[in-house]
């Protein structure tokens, strides 16, 4: 199964005529493999969305006040692992799946390409915002330096973090919707 999967990706990238022969030879099987990628992309976006909902409604209220005491309690509770570990796994998987789906479906038609482009752009924007905005704030707030936290700076960081998280949630929602629409469109483009 995986050999034919990688063959289809190789064929779509480097040998367009070979891809057409592969698709015409065993069209239904190839479409199923392609749809499998779209399902995976949509499911990973769903996990990403669910993780952010959990973070927003369950985790965030524990340190939303911006007080150093709440940050200290939060850090002591998550002493072995923390929610950031989930995103370290899901972010590269989501981006990789968006890239693979974009490459595989590049020649499938304009609506599919537009939806997968939106999904890919949202993934890249989410990664950019997370790595360049949220990661420095998280390092300051949630590393083991709670004894040296400035109360004014903590309150400011928490306030801006919460506001910016709604932007990140909107990007995830748009990417999730685009991946679902691409999956939906694939059933009608056979």
DSSP structure string for 26-74: SHHHHHHHHHHHHHHHHHHHHHHHHHHHHIIIIIGGGTTT--HHHHHHH
Tell me what pLDDT residue 145 has: 63
- Which domain, by its residues, includes 184? 40-188
Tell me what pLDDT residue 106 has: 86
| Closest to 37 (Cα-Cα) out of 64, 63, 4, 65 | 4
DSSP notation for 128-146:
HHIIIIIHHHHHHHHSS-G
CA distances 55 to 30, 52, 58, 81, Å, are: 38, 5, 6, 14
| Of the listed ranges 5-9, 40-44, 113-117, 169-173, the one predicted with least confidence | 5-9
Reported as a pLDDT band with limits 50, 70 and 90, residue 190 is: low
**More confidently predicted of 1 and 138:** 138
Instruction: Note the Cα 72 to chain centre separation in Å.
Output: 29
3-state secondary structure (DSSP) of residue 28: helix
Please check whether residue 2 lies inside any domain of the structure: no
Please check whether residue 27 lies inside any domain of the structure: no
Please check whether residue 4 lies inside any domain of the structure: no
Q: Measured between alpha carbons, how far is 1 from 86 in angstroms, rounded to an integer?
A: 29
Which tens digit of pLDDT belongs to each residue from 33-70? 678 999 999 999 999 999 999 999 999 999 999 888 88
Please check whether residue 18 lies inside any domain of the structure: no
Tell me what pLDDT residue 187 has: 80
Tell me what pLDDT residue 115 has: 94
Number of domains in the chain: 1
Please check whether residue 121 lies inside any domain of the structure: yes
pLDDT at 30 over 60: no
Dihedral of the alpha carbons of 71, 72, 77, 80, in degrees to the nearest 10: 100
Task: Say how many Å lie between the first and final Cα of the chain, rounded.
Answer: 21
Q: Measured between alpha carbons, how far is 149 from 72 in angstroms, rounded to an integer?
A: 10
Please check whether residue 19 lies inside any domain of the structure: no
**More confidently predicted of 165 and 34:** 165
């Amino acid at each position: 199964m995986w050999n034919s999967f990688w063959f289809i990706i190789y064929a779509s990238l480097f040998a367009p005529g070979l891809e057409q022969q592969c698709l015409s030879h065993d069209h239904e099987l190839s479409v199923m493999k392609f749809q499998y990628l779209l399902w995976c992309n949509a499911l990973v976006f769903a996990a990403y969305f669910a993780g952010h909902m959990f973070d927003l409604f369950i985790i965030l209220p524990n340190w939303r006040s911006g007080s150093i005491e709440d940050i200290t309690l939060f850090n002591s509770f998550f002493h072995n692992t923390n929610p950031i570990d989930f995103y370290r796994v899901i972010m590269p998987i989501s981006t990789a799946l968006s890239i693979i789906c974009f490459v595989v479906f590049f020649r499938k038609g304009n609506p599919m390409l537009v939806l997968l482009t939106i999904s890919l752009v949202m993934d890249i924007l989410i990664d950019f915002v997370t790595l360049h905005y949220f990661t420095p704030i998280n390092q300051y707030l949630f590393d083991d330096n709670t004894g040296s936290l400035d109360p004014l700076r903590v309150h400011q960081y928490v306030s801006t973090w919460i506001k910016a998280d709604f932007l990140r949630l909107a990007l995830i929602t748009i990417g999730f919707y685009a991946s679902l629409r691409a999956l939906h469109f694939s059933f009608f483009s056979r």
